């Protein structure tokens, strides 16, 4: 693999398979407002050094004045570096006066004088208008490519290219890496996504990866799409309590550590309560737990927990609340994984899977997403419980539309059994346990001040 330089964040580098290829030509494409210039500046400030500075060249698209005026509000922008570590210059004037030959002379001079390690041309596409015809532009491109390949400098050529130009514009053929910043729209939501279209001399993560723009720069969330890892991992051999003693019996003495359990049922059946049993039961046994809820607000959840003698103030319990409104699932999942690692969580409750699915672009993608999340947790020995609401109040024809029941190790179904003397009875059924046996019977249960209590067997 070729040597790499950082693109600014470790997750961005993960997408790039280790970073941008050093001493290569990287084409950065996207529509106006997609964050290309911010990305280029991010690369510049991360990599520039006094002895090997970065050179940032504007052309005739965005004036240098504006790049600097807005750039200074980015947190990584370092005013003290301007003029020493980071050199800003304008090619617009020489382009207007002497055309593309003038640009070549200017760049040659900058390499000789400044000896840069990274050189940005923003916008590269704007220079094409200064060639009389395709032949002249290709000649310019050949000379520029030869020049920047003869000196150890990483080039970022930024341009507002359309996807349709990839097959025709010669820049795409000479580029060693192509990064496309784009966005998609669905239900009046805009989701930004980064895709590596080409990367010579190494691998990158395929597909589109969500990103957000903030004053801190470009934050990328690599698409969670883990293939089954080949490296072995060890899981503990002692089963863990579900938090409900009678249910532990049905599950043949609880769960395997690192297992995933889907709790499915209609509204009000006790799914969240089952999840709280799982978390607070773990806390009682010394296993830190993380509640990742998209349902109840922390205040509401605290009230529910207190109703059963628990509290979110528990030292072993961490709450991660996020409204399902305008939720970005890729950002959310990294927050979940980071928080779980930070607090050393051994149990995670996701309440609910349906909220995540609603924010996801498509069913196939969501299935991969859940698989990857469960796989990562399992390898870390973190047990996961996911709630999922089914629509049918009575009877059931299917559990989920995205195969979560297939992905989960255990599936527990909560149902309403029917009305009896104006009261409603609930049942629990263990539909599936992976790598263990279980009680196949349908058991009635009640929700009491002590939580879920199974009725005695008839």
Partner 1 sequence: MNLRAEDYDLPMDAGNPGDRPVYSIGAVSKMLGIRPATLRTWQERYGVVVPERSEGGHRLYTRDQVQQLRFLMDQVAAGLSPADGHRVLEERIAAGLPVQSAGTSGADTLLILLAERDPFAADFAEYFLRTEGYDVALVLSVEDAIATTASAGPHLAVIDLLISGGRGLELCRQLSKHESVPVLAISSLEMREQALSAGASAFLRKPVEALQLVSAVQDLLGRSAFLRRDDRRAEHRDEAKA
Residue ranges binding partner 1 (CB under 8 A) = 3-6, 8-10, 13, 18-19, 22-23, 42, 46-47, 49, 51-52, 75-76, 108, 111-112, 115, 117, 146-147, 149-152, 216-217, 219
Report the nearest approach of partner 1 to the CB of residue 205 (Å).
Answer: 17
Q: Which is nearer to partner 1, 9 or 436 (CB)?
A: 9
Residue 292 pairs with which residues in a beta bridge? 320, 350
Q: Are 283 and 256 in contact (CB under 8 A)?
A: no
Report the nearest approach of partner 1 to the CB of residue 47 (Å).
Answer: 6
Report the nearest approach of partner 1 to the CB of residue 285 (Å).
Answer: 36
The C-alpha atoms of residue 102 and residue 362 are separated, in whole angstroms, by: 50
Report the nearest approach of partner 1 to the CB of residue 69 (Å).
Answer: 20
Closest CA to 281 of 308, 251, 244: 244
In a 10 Å sphere around its CB, with 0-12 CB exposed, 13-18 middle and 19+ buried, how is residue 314 labelled?
Answer: middle
Q: What is the CA radius of gyration of the chain?
A: 28
**96-106 as b/e: b if 16+ CB within 10 A:** eeebbebbbeb
CA angle 45/62/82 to nearest 5° reads 30
Report the nearest approach of partner 1 to the CB of residue 18 (Å).
Answer: 7
Closest CA to 350 of 336, 362, 364, 361: 336
Q: Which is nearer to partner 1, 75 or 323 (CB)?
A: 75
Q: Between the CA of residue 146 and those of 7, 150, 323, what are the distances in Å?
A: 24, 6, 52
Report the nearest approach of partner 1 to the CB of residue 4 (Å).
Answer: 6
Q: Which is nearer to partner 1, 150 or 422 (CB)?
A: 150
Q: Which is nearer to partner 1, 10 or 311 (CB)?
A: 10
Q: Between the CA of residue 404 and those of 45, 225, 368, 377, 395, what are the distances in Å?
A: 43, 15, 10, 15, 19
Say which residue the tokens 């990274």 belong to. 118
Q: Which is nearer to partner 1, 7 or 254 (CB)?
A: 7
- Helix segments in 89-203, DSSP class H: 92-114, 134-149, 171-174
Report the nearest approach of partner 1 to the CB of residue 48 (Å).
Answer: 9
Q: Which is nearer to partner 1, 74 or 413 (CB)?
A: 74
Q: Which is nearer to partner 1, 179 or 269 (CB)?
A: 179
Tell me what percent of the chain is helix, strand and coil, each rounded to the nearest 5. Answer: 35, 30, 40
Report the nearest approach of partner 1 to the CB of residue 94 (Å).
Answer: 19
DSSP 82: B
Report the nearest approach of partner 1 to the CB of residue 36 (Å).
Answer: 16
Q: Which is nearer to partner 1, 113 or 392 (CB)?
A: 113
Q: Which is nearer to partner 1, 115 or 438 (CB)?
A: 115
User: Tokens standing for 320?
Assistant: 């991660």
**364-373 as b/e: b if 16+ CB within 10 A:** ebbbbbbbbb
């Amino acid at each position: 693999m070729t040597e790499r330089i950082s693109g600014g964040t470790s997750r961005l580098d993960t997408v790039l398979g280790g970073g941008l290829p050093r001493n290569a030509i990287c084409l950065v494409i996207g529509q106006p407002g997609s964050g290309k210039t911010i990305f280029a500046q991010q690369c510049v400030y991360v990599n520039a050094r006094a002895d090997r500075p970065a050179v940032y060249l504007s052309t005739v698209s965005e004036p240098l004045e504006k790049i600097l005026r807005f750039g200074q509000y980015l947190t990584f922008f370092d005013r003290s570096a301007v003029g020493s570590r980071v050199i800003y210059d304008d090619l617009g004037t020489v382009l207007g006066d002497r055309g593309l030959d003038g640009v070549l002379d200017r760049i040659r001079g900058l390499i000789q004088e400044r000896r840069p390690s990274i050189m940005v041309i923003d916008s590269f596409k704007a220079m094409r208008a200064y060639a009389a015809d395709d032949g002249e532009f290709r000649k310019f491109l050949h000379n520029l490519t030869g020049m920047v390949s003869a000196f150890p400098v990483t080039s970022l050529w930024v341009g507002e290219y359309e996807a349709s130009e990839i097959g025709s514009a010669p820049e795409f053929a000479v580029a060693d890496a192509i990064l496309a910043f784009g966005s998609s729209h669905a239900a009046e939501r805009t989701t930004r996504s980064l895709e590596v279209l080409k990367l010579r001399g190494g691998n990158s993560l395929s597909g589109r990866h969500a990103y957000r723009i903030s004053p801190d720069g470009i934050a990328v969330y690599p698409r969670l799409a883990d293939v089954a890892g080949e490296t072995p991992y060890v899981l503990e051999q002692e089963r863990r309590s579900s938090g409900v003693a009678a249910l532990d019996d049905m599950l043949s003495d609880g769960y395997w550590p690192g297992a995933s359990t889907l709790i499915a049922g209609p509204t009000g059946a006790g799914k969240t309560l089952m999840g709280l049993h799982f978390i607070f039961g773990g806390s009682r046994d010394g296993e830190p737990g993380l509640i990742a809820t998209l349902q109840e607000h922390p205040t509401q959840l605290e009230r529910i927990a207190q109703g059963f003698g628990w509290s979110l103030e528990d030292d072993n319990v961490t709450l991660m609340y996020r409204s399902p409104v305008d939720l970005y699932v890729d950002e959310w999942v990294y927050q979940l994984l980071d928080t779980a690692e930070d607090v050393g969580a051994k149990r995670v409750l996701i309440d609910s899977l349906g909220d995540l699915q609603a924010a996801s672009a498509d069913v196939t993608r969501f299935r991969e997403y859940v698989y990857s999340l469960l796989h990562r947790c399992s390898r870390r020995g973190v047990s996961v419980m996911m709630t999922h609401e089914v629509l049918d109040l009575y009877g059931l024809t299917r559990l989920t539309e995205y195969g979560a029941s297939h992905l989960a190790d255990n599936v527990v179904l909560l149902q309403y059994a029917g009305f009896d003397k104006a009261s409603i009875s609930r049942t629990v059924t263990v539909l599936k346990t992976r790598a263990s046996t279980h009680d196949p019977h349908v058991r009635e249960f009640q929700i009491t001040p002590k939580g879920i209590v199974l009725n005695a067997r008839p």
